[in-house]
Each structure stands twice: as C-alpha cells, then as structure tokens.
Chains A and B, each alone.
Chain A
C-alpha cells in the first residue's frame, strides 16, 4: 500500500463531508426522521435534471439551486401528505421520493442524447477523483498545495452548518425534543423544521457531487446514532458524531486500499468502504458504549443484582 498526498486529500474531503452531514444528522435522528437523508438524496434528481435542461451546463450554481429546491420540496410534500391524507410519515416519504426520482429519471432519459448526466454517478460519486478537480494552489512552507474544489465546497458547507447550529442551538434543541413546548415559547418550530430540511438538502447536494450519495446517506444517520449511544447531551452528541464521521473517513479509505488485497483484489471504491467503516464503529459502540451498550448493560445489571443483597441505602 502506498500513501500519497492524494490519499490524504481523499480522507480530508471525506472527513469534511462526514462532519457536514453528521451535524444536521443528529437532529434527524433525534426527531426520528433518519430516512429523510435517504429520501432527499434520491429526490434531488429532478432538480438536477431541470436545472441542467434550463442552464445547459453541469457544474453550475443552477444545478445546486435546483437540487436544493427539490430537496426542500421533498420535505414539504412529505409533510403535506402525512398531514392532509393522514398517511404514516414513513409511507408518505416513500411515496414522495420514489415519485420524484421517477420524474428525474424520465427527464434525464428524455435529454439523454446530449447529456453527460447519469444516475449512477449521482449515486456513487467518485471521491477518488475529487482531489484532481482543483480550484487553485497554495504554497505553505515551500511545498505547493493544489486545493481541490470539493475541499472548498465541503469545508464551506460544514462551516455554514456549524454556524447555523451554533446560532440557533437553543431553538433547534427545543424543537427537536419538544416541538409543542417550543411553539408555546414563541419559537417557530415549523420554521426550524424547514431550516433543518434546507440544511439537509443543501448538504446532500454539496456532498454527493463530490463524494456520492452513499456516504451522504450513511453519514446523516450512523455517526449520530453512534453518538446517541455514548451520551445523553446534545452538545457532546454533536461533537462525538463529528469525530466518529471523521474517523470513519480515514478508516474507510484505509480499508478500501487494504481489505480487497486480503482476497486477492486490487482495491475498491472508498465511498462504499466509508459507509462500512462507520457501520463498524456503530457496531463497536453497540457493544462497548458505557451506559447503553450491551456490555455496559450487563455490567449495570450485575451491579444492581449485587447491590440488592446488602441494600446499603436502605431504600427497600
């Protein structure tokens, strides 16, 4: 295995993407809307297609805008259908994203003759190639650094997400745990919901162009769920989920380079392996997390059973 500067860039880009996704992901998991990331990442396809047909170019602000609008619309339609039609939220999400994906597929096929836009590139992305697409260079300490575009885009996204969450920390926290109380206190819980959805949509679009939607879907849910096993507080949860996401980026790329070698293959794509790596981190946490992990619970049970006999506090 040879580690190049490019590998470092891949890990850094992956880690930025993971942090950008994990921050809003914590709120998705707490609000029991984890599948929203999956839904939105499928549903942005028509937005991409329409923006492409209108502007005629692939890498443009228009594409970004179209996809973000489609993502927010997914959230809006899901809300409408489950509210007006009294449909289970999961089902209404499924209806909306499959329909929008179908619309997007049709639009792309209609324009396929002259379009270099194919759904599999949206789904898988190519994080391996992301470092090659550079915006400029920087000289630090005598070495020339080519800055990849994905690094800038994802860095800005992560920073903006962090900024929004820090600015509205109180509001987000309250509307995540108790939307009704938030409303009575004068916090527009509905508005916070749509702000969160906009963040999810924008992050999805910003990320999958560079790294593919598999990483996006995984990083919205798994780091947040992992952090949820370690802590009961929102602040630490945000921090732990970011760390878990960033670690899985490094671990995933390492695995992509080494694991296939054990079976006699050359290598595999990093996107898939990052999802696997974060899954492994989650599985490990299920086992060893102090209070909510399996081992921790066994130990707690033993403590409870042990303390039953003497009953030092004299409670019983």
Chain B
C-alpha cells in the first residue's frame, strides 16, 4: 500500500470507530436520523463561510473556516429541531424534515450565489456532499484523529452519564444531573464527527456511519459497554474493508463501498445476532410454542385421567386413553393433536401411540401431574389473591403458567397452602357431576 492509501484507510477506520461510538448513544436515544438533519444543515454554513472569507479578502477555501461555518449552522439547525419539537405541536420527525430540507435548500441557494462569484474557485465545495475519500491529505487525517481521540476520551469518561441519559432521562434529572448539558455534550460530539467526516467522506457515508454500526451491534448484546465496543469495531472494520477494496479496484467510490460493507455486516447481524437476531428470536419463539403445546397436551391428558377417577384425587392412575377423547377435550384438530403427540413421543412423555389410543410414559405422567398442579395453583392464586372470577381465570392462568419458575411455584404453594394437586377451581362454580366439566377450554 502506498502512503496515500494508508492515509485513507486509517482515516476511514478512525471515523468508523468514532461514529460507531457516538451512533450507539444516538440509536439508544432514538435519534438516529439526527445525523441526517445535522449533516444537511451544515451546507449553508459552508457556503456562507466561503462567502464571508471571500468578502474579507481571504481565499475562501480555508478548511478551518469552512468547518466552523458548517458547525455553526449544523448545531443551530439541530437546536431549531429541538426548539420546534418542544414549543409547537410539530413532532420531531417533521421538525427534522423541515430543518433538513429548508437548511439544505438555503445551502443550495447560497452555493448557487457562490457559483456566480467571478473567482469561481467554489466549484470544489461540492466535495462536502459527495466526499473526496480517495484524495484525503495529511490535514484531514490529523483533524479526524483529533476528533476520534476526543470522542474516545469523552465516551469513556462520561459513559455512566450517557448511559443514564439514554435509558432514563427523567431519572437522571431527578438525581440532579445536568441533563441539558450532557445532551449538549453528546450533540457536540455528533456535530464534531459529522462535520469532520462530512468533508472527508461525504454526506451519505457519514449518515450511514452514524446509524448502521450501532444498529448492527445492537443485535449481538444487551450490555451497553459491549455494544459500544462492538459498534466501534464494526464501524472500524467497515472503514478498513471498504477503503481497502476501493483502493484495489480503482474507479469505485470509497464512500459507497464502505456503506455497502457496513450494510452487509448489518444484514449478517440482523439474521445471526446472538442477542436479538431474527434466527435467535424465531428459535426462542418456537421453543416457547413447543413448551406451551407440550404442557397443554399433558394437562389435557391428566384431566381426562382425573375424570376417569371420578373425583377421587388419589385414584388417578396412568391408563390408556383414546385419541378421540383427547381430541374432544380441547378445540384441537386431529392433525394438531397428532403433531403434538409425535413431539411428546420424541420427548419420551408418551408411549404406545397407535393412532387410536395412547398412554403416558412414567416420566410423562409425572410431568403431567406437575403441569396440572402449577396451572391450578396459579388459578387459585388469581381467584383468592387477585379477585378474578373463577369463570375467567382459566384464560388468565394460561398466559402465565408456561413461564412459572420453580421458585415462583414454591411461593405459590406457600401462599395458597397446598402441597398436592388441587382440584380444578372451576368445580367451585360447576357441579361435579355436570358433564360440561370436561369441556373447559383453557
């Protein structure tokens, strides 16, 4: 790699790290598009700064002057977004849209005026929109490095404060923390990253850099520190991979390639993320569905066996029951019962299912008794402690019983004061001999 390529790769990596860090806080504050509004609002500042510098007799292309102008209008624009949101009935998405378009329009108008300056050296100003990644110089690199160091140090120092700001602003305020000032510091960091990144890599890439790494990192962890580290790494990695690839294949704009690398990392995380990824969540849901299905099946069988023992709890014995009985017990289709049974057979809860009759295995019978008992415990608890009518309690119990932990079951036993399997509380309101007893849906 030659000197220039190294410079570009290092710069994009640093920018990725810095914006990954800042972007995490933005994402958690649900302000991801703030970078979008801010970066567009920088444009009039650039044009105006150029005009002022030309009028003052300067060259008009002094980098520090242009960046200062960009910062002023950028931060001013975001301040206006907050002002509109807080003082009028306009919601923050519309406030952002208004500031973004009006400021960008102003910028386009100012640049349109600048173009007619006889000097005409303003043509180069448009790299603020598309970036000039491949032609970065040492000054850009140093500026980026400085901002990255500041972002790293401040995020490390203020991590606790920013965390509270992101998760519970009201609590932070009630603790007496200077929430407003913290918000300003965070906004200042975003502005610094945006302005410096804008002229280095362009508008679209900086918006992407502020959103995508943080959103990708969120799929892998629920811990803020882990998320910060991961988000910074994803940002750095996409900067490194993207700029390397674009340097190998000349003619590809580095900014676009970096965005695509980050987007691929995001897509991978979306599906395979270990904390909130799609596949992981689908697996968890299907496991829960399976558990619910198993418990419903076992309880249904147990209640059939119970009805055969004719109200004598000690006489419930594990004996074969017919498939038709089981289907009639709940509002299940025959296909659904067959599916449940085949799972139960695999789990060794049922043996001897020949299509017409079935019998629980030893472990299945124990599990059925336990499940039924949990359900009844919870029902009785709801009736006696939560004042829910016995006729409604089955549904309510159903939504919780599948996630009762052993500790909670023990607590329930103490509260309700029962050790063995209680009779179904529905019998309290329904005569024991009534045939409807078996038809309870739950």
Contacts and interface: CB of A to CB of B under 8 A. Distances in A.
Interface stretch (B64-72, B98-106, B172-180): B98-106
A124 B113 contact: no
A98 interface: yes
B278 A275 contact: no
A94 B112 contact: no
B278 A33 contact: no
A106 B89 contact: no
A162 interface: no
A35 B96 contact: yes
Interface string A253-272: 00010001001011111011
Chain A interface size, under 10 / 10 to 19 / 20 to 34 / 35 or more: 35 or more
A128 to B, nearest CB: 10
Interface in B107-132: 107-113, 116-117, 126, 129-130
A91 interface: yes
A305 interface: no
B229 interface: no
A228 to B, nearest CB: 7
Interface in B227-263: 251-253, 255-257, 259-260, 263
B150 to A, nearest CB: 24
B93 interface: yes
A220 interface: yes
A214 B105 contact: yes
Contacts of B126: 120
Given A34-B93, A98-B204, A106 B270 contact: no
B208 A105 contact: no
B84 A275 contact: no
B196 interface: no
B211 A95 contact: yes
A180 interface: no
A87 B219 CA distance: 9
Interface stretch (B26-34, B287-295, B339-347, B362-370): B26-34
Nearest to A221: B97
B215 A95 contact: yes
Given A33-B93, A94-B207, A88 B30 contact: yes
Contacts of B130: 119-120
B256 A34 contact: no
A53 to B, nearest CB: 16
Contacts of B336: none
A106 B252 contact: yes
Nearest to B214: A91
Given A94-B36, A229-B89, A102 B108 contact: no
Interface of B: 27, 30-33, 35-36, 84, 87-91, 93-98, 100-102, 104-113, 116-117, 126, 129-130, 204-205, 207-208, 210-212, 214-215, 218-219, 251-253, 255-257, 259-260, 263, 266, 270, 276-278
Given A98-B212, A217-B97, A294-B87, 8 more contacts: A34-B93, A85-B215, A85-B277, A102-B208, A102-B257, A124-B108, A214-B101, A273-B105
